């Protein structure tokens, strides 16, 4: 069935499968020590203009968030996040399972605000009762956010400045990073983003890979014994080649960016299709996730024809739906959508 | 370089890659809800003669052990294991990270003994000081073991009987299960093994897959909300299709067993090659892991020619080396080994 | 210095010290198996009209909350609490340290609302995405709350009804229970409160003891192997007699209630003293914690004369201060307060 | 009933109760910020000849071990201990609950051996497979041990030297420290012991207090935000005065040492009583715990007359019993023991 349900319903970009097939019988060391991981890391360092960056390839997003956060926090510290941050609401308590509290900040279309961050820190860092509270140990944000929105350059620079002032590492969750970088409203390049934070991820799962998230410590600042930490969390893949080969292919000849650009182009067309029918948007997203407000009575017929995500109630009688495009979305998919919406 | 270092240095059996390629653009739900996982589970149920079995597909071995054990134990319980059990020594403390103690039993070529298990339980279950000790909540064993050895039918039945008597779930770690089932000394079929335990795994990573471990609860006894538990541990793969497609292929037309049989056949030839040169074995392994005792002065030249694992010191002047075959080992590999050993 | 800073700045009610002295050399078993714990439990069962109640005596409040919550939740569950609940903000992340998320509900003078609780549960229990979220496993509330407020009978019954409907245990944190029961606005007796919940605590630390919280499972519903859970958390006191003797004394001849009543009487006089001077209250508290709004310029002089707690900013120029009475507050203390305020 | 069951069956030394009574109504800040804790710390620094020492007072032994160990280890590290160490076997998994593995070394009458420690470290620190194993992060030992034995000066110096060489903090669990220091075979003074390790505890619970363990970081090397760590573990006592007053009294006029000396004197007489009757010792203990080997047929009659601890089976027909003296043991107790044994 036609699906705009998410950006991970297809397999992988064919070039990644091709790489897996071509190198299949080459014997390689395990656990990320293979030649492909080395090559992929080299190419990502170049793409980030971060020659000292340390990289690790992990399998999935929640796993990555859990491991990165646990590796940076001391036992008594928590992570600051928007209340809508993925780590706060949609990871089944993976952060808390590793012993840390998610300290929440207000969200504005999924984004945190530098001034609110500073106010929070001023309030609590000056509090002598602080030893009875959870100390903040880092700041988490997603780019794009869970609502498809993007931080403007000035917004992110302001947040990064607060983080530096308070000596809090800034972690950018890039599960959908490609879609953020290729958005028509993007103000930040990959090197600029790498320069602004202490650790970030380059999502593969949602941008063309079967699985895989690259963790980048742009200043060569990976935690000591990071491999043991990954292993301890059950995140160390025996056949690291599966990740290395895919990221090597994604960062060869700009494939990661081209794959992401396709999703953006298709999202722009998708927006136009909804706009043409007067279907309002819940918010203005410049990336591959689009949120529309639909009358409830249309949902049964719509869901007979295609798949989408039900996000939340808009009001009595209306629901927010999420439609995603991806590296795999085709114009034929959008033609079909247009036809279905027209027939409603 | 020629490698007998482990059983996960090649990619995947070509039929698995073929399946991944053929179904690549078919849109599927995420998180294991895809059609391939459903089909794979169906075929494994049939292969286990366990029509009520519940299955989940996870990515890696340590992850699987951590999640299965944490899901079965209550917070104050520990898991009984051979001191050489993978969960005790080679998972970077993943079990303890999830809050549980590994309670160790003596090992005999990697195996635990039913009588020693019973003695342990009799000693501690009758102890009134018990509330200050870690209560045993389950028994873990690997089949084959970390030393390549296999439990005989009577041994495993005796252990299972003790477990039932003490109401302790029995968990069989089958990271290399195929090699155990296809060993020429195997006394247990897959249905028989499934009938003897409460949960077991069918390792894909080491038996022909890029990644993947099938977790089987043969009596339909998966823990409640097991998906949340997996997610909380960072183990829920977005594109479950990657696992479903591979296990579907492995359990189509007996591929899993055929792939494993190749490793056994090659291991038998490997044994003969070493025996012909008078190189002694550390122990008699009937599976794909072979442990030989080699004079230390030969190691430098040997390691120039091929890769193997250094296991442990045998004595002054000798070292135990591990040589693994796998589904991917060829006769050409063994010809090359024969030549290298001959030239030493 | 004169102190209204908290309700734990003095030692213990003299009758408790007397009991400790009188029984000092009597040899008793350790770890709560002593005769005094047995007697104290017996008396508390009677006071609660809960003959089947199971009791344990723990040392401190955060410890008690952590242990009770961890013992009732399954690994993937969280605890619902007011955002101002002690477990959410003032226990240094003790709940998260034990692996569980605190799921927050809005607060109304420190209280949660049955309707908001039901709405929350209806929203999330019907959500199919739920497996990626933290499941609620119990409800926590404090009586009195962190703001000194009390649930009315109807409010608490409504909350308890929702809990029963959703099969969620209700835990009442009674760190200051005595002050709630003896409030002039109290609508619930100890037996009524015991009947409404699944577990509650009777705070000793803040109501006359040197330390100690009684955990009461009114329906005989203590978790299995609760002693091991306590021990595992480091909460099992070797000389349980210290807790048993104190609670035995507190529940002999109504001492617990009399001690609490003193705090209430003194709080009423304290309120009158502030009211007479036109100093407004932040909220109307019927228990031993009183929150007044004070001009910032008075704070330096005030803090030279007495101790109080600075709670939060009220607005530009005003601060909320907390004044506590306790079992130990005397009329002389209040005379001194009156004089100091008069002199400002 | 006459009891030699343990060293915590009586209350507290009367001077401690006297201090609690005398200061009872003095208002003090909570959470260890009181004047008594300050004074006690000052006196202990002097007694340790460690003017820079940082001190904290905790309630119980398991709690203290859990908090000290968790505060010193990084998440992926474990603690090295004798297999008989209290943290390994008798704390209900409190160390594992905090996420860390107890790495076990052989025991010799409860003691670890410097050479075996070094061998263990040489084997594993040189192992490249190490990232899959738990890294040792500190060394734990108890003084006296769980078998009442004492490290000789040279033994402890050798262990400390290995620890320094491998940059592993050395933690000495002094739950019964007084009895070790006052043993007739003691080779180490309190300042010498403090100089040899990185952190140690001075047990109050078993040496005259109602509760309380002093944690001493002799080089002023307490972990950052140690109070938050204590709070997070539920170990921060609101009325820290209870601990401060007791340790202040214990370290006034040498009371701690005098109280311990009584136990040693009584243990020497107890040894003589058993020796005179030809009852053999399981091992030669120079402290307050004595282990005798008793014919099983005598146990029923013995346990009618007095209390002792059943330790373990010695052989068919014999059991190891533990008899403890304490600061509270009197000559009348020993007279009674003598009579009971004579009558057997």
Tokens matching residue D300:
């029923």
Contact criterion met (CB < 8 Å) for D132 and B78? no
Cα–Cα distance measured from residue A177 to residue A143, given in angstroms and rounded to the nearest whole number: 6
C211 pLDDT higher than 80 = yes
Residues of chain B found within 8 Å of residue C74, distances taken between Cβ atoms: 224-225
pLDDT confidence band for A141 (50 / 70 / 90): very high
C134 pLDDT higher than 80 = yes
Q: Which chains touch C (3 or more CB pairs under 8 A)?
A: A, B, D
Instruction: Determine contact, residues D75/A229, Cβ cutoff 8 Å.
Output: yes
Cα–Cα distance measured from residue D180 to residue A162, given in angstroms and rounded to the nearest whole number: 53
Mean of the per-residue pLDDT values of chain A: 96
Cα–Cα distance measured from residue C68 to residue C62, given in angstroms and rounded to the nearest whole number: 10
Distance of CA C129 to the CA centre of its chain: 35
pLDDT at D130: 75
Cα–Cα distance measured from residue A298 to residue A321, given in angstroms and rounded to the nearest whole number: 12
Find the mean pLDDT for residues C178-192: 98
pLDDT at B131: 87
Residues of chain D found within 8 Å of residue B93, distances taken between Cβ atoms: 76, 78, 99-101, 134
Cα–Cα distance measured from residue C40 to residue C22, given in angstroms and rounded to the nearest whole number: 16
Number of DSSP helices (H) and strands (E) in chain D, helices first = 14, 12
pLDDT at C131: 87
pLDDT at D124: 78
User: Nearest residue on chain D to C59, judged by CA atoms?
Assistant: D237
CB contacts < 8 Å between A and D, how many? 43
Q: How far does B282 lie from chain D, in Å, by closest CA?
A: 20
Report the residue from B76, B93, B101 with minimal CB separation from D76: B93
Q: Nearest Cα to D25, choosing from C257, C12, C266?
A: C12
Instruction: Determine contact, residues A227/A215, Cβ cutoff 8 Å.
Output: no
Contact criterion met (CB < 8 Å) for B93 and D78? yes
Maximum Cα–Cα distance across chain D: 63
User: Nearest residue on chain B to A308, judged by CA atoms?
Assistant: B29
Contact criterion met (CB < 8 Å) for B93 and D102? no
What is the torsional sign of CA C186, C189, C195, C199?
A: positive
How many Å is the Cα radius of gyration of chain B? Answer: 20
Distances from the Cα of A170 to the Cα of A107, A126, A136, A159, D166, angstroms: 17, 21, 12, 9, 33
Q: Give pLDDT tens digits for D230-264.
A: 999 999 999 999 999 999 999 999 999 999 999 99
Residues of chain D found within 8 Å of residue B91, distances taken between Cβ atoms: 132
Give the 3-state DSSP-derived string for B223-275, with helices as H, strands as E and coil as C.
CCCHHHHHHHCCCCCCCCHHHHHHHHHHCCCCHHHHHHHHHHHHHHHHHHHHH
Q: Nearest Cα to B250, choosing from B181, B186, B194?
A: B181
Say which CATH topology domain B2-7+256-343 has: 3.90.1150
Is domain B24-253 classified as CATH 3.40.640.10?
A: yes
B126 pLDDT higher than 70 = no
Burial class, C196, CB count within 10 angstroms (exposed 0-12 / middle 13-18 / buried 19+): buried
Residue identified by tokens 């738990």 is D134
D134 at the B interface (CB within 8 A)? yes
A99 at the C interface (CB within 8 A)? yes
Q: Is the pTM of this model over 0.90?
A: yes
Instruction: Determine contact, residues D263/D95, Cβ cutoff 8 Å.
Output: no
Tokens matching residue B34:
């895809």
C128 pLDDT higher than 60 = no
Cα–Cα distance measured from residue B39 to residue B45, given in angstroms and rounded to the nearest whole number: 10
Q: At what angle do helices B255-276 and B331-343 cross, to 10 degrees?
A: 20
The full DSSP string for D254-266 is THHHHHHHHHHHH
B340 at the A interface (CB within 8 A)? no
pLDDT at C123: 83
D123 pLDDT higher than 90 = no
The full DSSP string for A59-102 is S-HHHHHHHHHHHHS-TTEEEEEETT-HHHHSSTTHHHHTT-PE
Q: Give pLDDT tens digits for A258-289.
A: 999 999 999 999 999 999 999 999 999 999 99
D200 pLDDT higher than 90 = yes
D135 at the A interface (CB within 8 A)? yes
Domains of chain D, residue spans: 2-7+256-343, 15-253
Q: Which chains touch D (3 or more CB pairs under 8 A)?
A: A, B, C
Report the residue from D131, D229, D236 with minimal CB separation from A75: D229
Cα–Cα distance measured from residue D184 to residue D197, given in angstroms and rounded to the nearest whole number: 22
Question: Which of D228, D229, D237, D240 to mutate against chain A (most A CBs within 10 Å)?
Answer: D228
What ipTM describes this predicted complex?
0.96
Residues in contact with B209: Cβ distance below 8 Å, sequence separation at least 6, in sequence order? B12, B13, B16, B246, B247, B250
Tokens matching residue A294:
């639909």
Residues of chain D found within 8 Å of residue A229, distances taken between Cβ atoms: 75-76
Find the mean pLDDT for residues C52-57: 98
Residues in contact with D44: Cβ distance below 8 Å, sequence separation at least 6, in sequence order? D53, D55, D202, D214, D216, D247, D251
- The CATH code belonging to domain D15-253 is 3.40.640.10
Tokens matching residue D275:
């020796």
Contact criterion met (CB < 8 Å) for B228 and C76? yes
User: What residues 177-216 of chain B have any CB closer than 8 A to a CB of chain A?
Assistant: 205-206, 210-211
The full DSSP string for C237-270 is -S-THHHHHHHHHHTSTTHHHHHHHHHHHHHHHH
C40 pLDDT higher than 90 = yes
pLDDT at C344: 83
pLDDT confidence band for B344 (50 / 70 / 90): confident
D128 pLDDT higher than 70 = no
Instruction: Determine contact, residues A23/B11, Cβ cutoff 8 Å.
Output: yes
What's domain C14-254's architecture?
A: 3-Layer(aba) Sandwich (3.40)
3-state secondary structure of C292: strand
Is domain A15-254 classified as CATH 3.40.50.2300?
A: no
Instruction: Determine contact, residues C142/C110, Cβ cutoff 8 Å.
Output: yes
pLDDT at B127: 52
Cα–Cα distance measured from residue D7 to residue D207, given in angstroms and rounded to the nearest whole number: 8
pLDDT at D161: 98
3-state secondary structure of B337: helix
D229 at the A interface (CB within 8 A)? yes
pLDDT at B123: 83
Contact criterion met (CB < 8 Å) for D99 and B100? no
Q: Give pLDDT tens digits for D314-339.
A: 999 999 999 999 999 999 999 999 99
Phi, psi of A119 (to 5 degrees): -60, -45
Find the mean pLDDT for residues A59-64: 98
B77 pLDDT higher than 80 = yes
D92 pLDDT higher than 80 = yes
Tokens matching residue B246:
């591979």
Instruction: Determine contact, residues B23/B36, Cβ cutoff 8 Å.
Output: yes
Find the mean pLDDT for residues A238-261: 98
Lowest-confidence segment of A308-317, B164-173, B199-208 by average pLDDT: A308-317
Residues of chain C found within 8 Å of residue B135, distances taken between Cβ atoms: 225, 228
A203 pLDDT higher than 80 = yes
């Amino acid at each position: 069935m036609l699906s705009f349900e998410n950006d991970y319903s297809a397999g992988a970009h064919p070039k990644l499968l091709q790489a897996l097939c071509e190198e299949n019988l080459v014997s390689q060391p395990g656990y990320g020590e293979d030649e492909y991981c080395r090559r992929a890391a080299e190419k990502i360092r170049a793409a980030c203009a971060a020659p000292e960056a340390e990289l690790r390839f992990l399998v999935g997003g929640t796993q990555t968030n859990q491991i990165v956060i646990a590796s940076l926090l001391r036992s008594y510290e928590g992570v600051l996040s928007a209340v809508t941050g993925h780590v706060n609401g949609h990871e089944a308590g993976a952060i808390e399972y590793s012993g840390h509290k998610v300290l929440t900040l207000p969200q504005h279309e999924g984004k945190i605000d530098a001034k609110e961050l500073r106010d929070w820190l001023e309030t609590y860092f000056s509090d002598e009762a602080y030893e009875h509270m959870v100390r903040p140990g880092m700041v988490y944000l997603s780019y794009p956010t869970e609502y498809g929105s993007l931080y403007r350059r000035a917004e992110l620079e302001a947040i990064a400045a607060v983080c530096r002032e308070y000596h809090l590492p800034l972690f950018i969750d890039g599960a959908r990073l490609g879609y953020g970088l290729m958005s028509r409203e993007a103000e930040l390049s990959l090197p600029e983003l790498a320069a602004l934070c202490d650790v970030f991820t380059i999502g593969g799962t949602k941008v063309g890979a079967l699985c895989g998230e690259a963790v980048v410590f742009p200043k060569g600042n990976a935690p000591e014994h990071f491999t043991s930490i990954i292993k301890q969390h059950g995140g160390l893949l025996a056949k690291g080649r599966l990740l290395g080969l895919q990221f090597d292919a994604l960062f060869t000849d700009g494939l990661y960016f081209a794959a992401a650009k396709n999703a953006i182009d298709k999202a722009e067309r998708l927006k136009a299709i909804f706009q043409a029918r007067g279907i309002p948007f819940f918010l203005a997203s410049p990336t591959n996730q689009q949120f529309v407000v639909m009358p409830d009575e249309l949902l049964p017929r719509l869901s007979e024809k295609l798949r989408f995500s039900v996000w939340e109630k808009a009001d009595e009688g209306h629901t927010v739906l999420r439609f995603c495009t991806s590296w795999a979305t085709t114009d034929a998919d959008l033609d079909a959508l247009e036809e279905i919406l027209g027939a409603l």
